[in-house]
A = this chain, B = another copy of it.
């Protein structure tokens, strides 16, 4: 017996933001622009373009305003930008951003270390940002991190994830992306978490954002597809951490996700060969091979 899977999946490409912000090296503005445009050329329709956070904490995103000023925006493509507070929101408005994202955590310790406030405080901070954005006609996406575990607290209860997801949904986020930030989860746990969240937020409003730290991301995604989720965040070339570096927690590679979905007859609209070309370009800029087995096979075929 098998369970029916969605026939179509929307992929949210997070490589230029979540990926690059976790790379040791800072990529040149022209390279970033070339990457985003190559990803759109490959068929991606949601490509995170940057983050209006303090350049002191995230120097890799310091050029977000410049990226948005120079980016040739394609029709029908969304370029979401992370915004932590009203100051970031104003920068997003100035940059004529059409979609922003706010990011909370399901773990108190992670929230304090990552954004320097409690979960409740972060939600209070996001609420006026979301309201102002929606009033201007922007779309707002919400992130919840640490949904399958926290580097400081260990286990995270599905109910804690559901509470944050529900709050983000209530404040108007059109989609809530559930992040296994440290890539520690396994398939049954991922299903249990998703099922609990889906009791409070419709599954059509949920996305998966899994990191591949322990190599479990595709299996976890497959398990969650069985529950009907149809949006997946991933990063071309598995950007976000070198496999041999301490604390590496790269996103699941878009190439690996697309390969699996293609093989199951699930439409993504993404051209795998073009995607892999974009991944080789950014990997070369970072001076290392792509962290994606599919990308590595394809690289050998064109070598």
Contacts and interface: CB of A to CB of B under 8 A. Distances in A.
A186 interface: yes
Interface stretch (A76-84, A139-147, A215-223): A215-223
A248 B1 CA distance: 33
Interface in A261-290: 262-265, 289
Interface of A: 1-3, 5, 185-189, 191, 212-216, 218-219, 221-223, 226-227, 243-244, 246-248, 253, 256, 259-260, 262-265, 289, 292-294, 296-297, 300, 303
Nearest to A225: B187
Nearest to A188: B264
Contacts of A289: 243-244
Nearest to A265: B188
Contact of A256 (B215, B226, B292): B215
Contact of A222 (B187, B189, B212, B262): B187
Nearest to A187: B222
Contacts of A292: 215
Contacts of A222: 187, 219, 222-223
What 8 pairs between A and B have smallest CB-CB spacing?
A186-B263, A215-B293, A218-B219, A188-B264, A219-B219, A215-B256, A219-B222, A214-B294
Most buried by B among A214, A244, A262: A214
A232 B253 CA distance: 25
A186 B264 contact: yes
Contact of A187 (B227, B256, B264, B294): B264
Contact of A185 (B1, B223, B262, B263): B263
B189 A243 contact: no
B191 A2 contact: yes
Contacts of A187: 222, 260, 263-264
Contacts of A219: 218-219, 221-222, 260
Nearest to A253: B215
A282 to B, nearest CB: 17
16 contacts: A1-B3, A2-B188, A2-B191, A186-B259, A186-B263, A187-B260, A188-B263, A189-B263, A215-B253, A215-B294, A216-B260, A219-B222, A219-B260, A243-B296, A246-B300, A246-B303
A218 B265 CA distance: 19
Contact of A218 (B216, B259, B294): B216
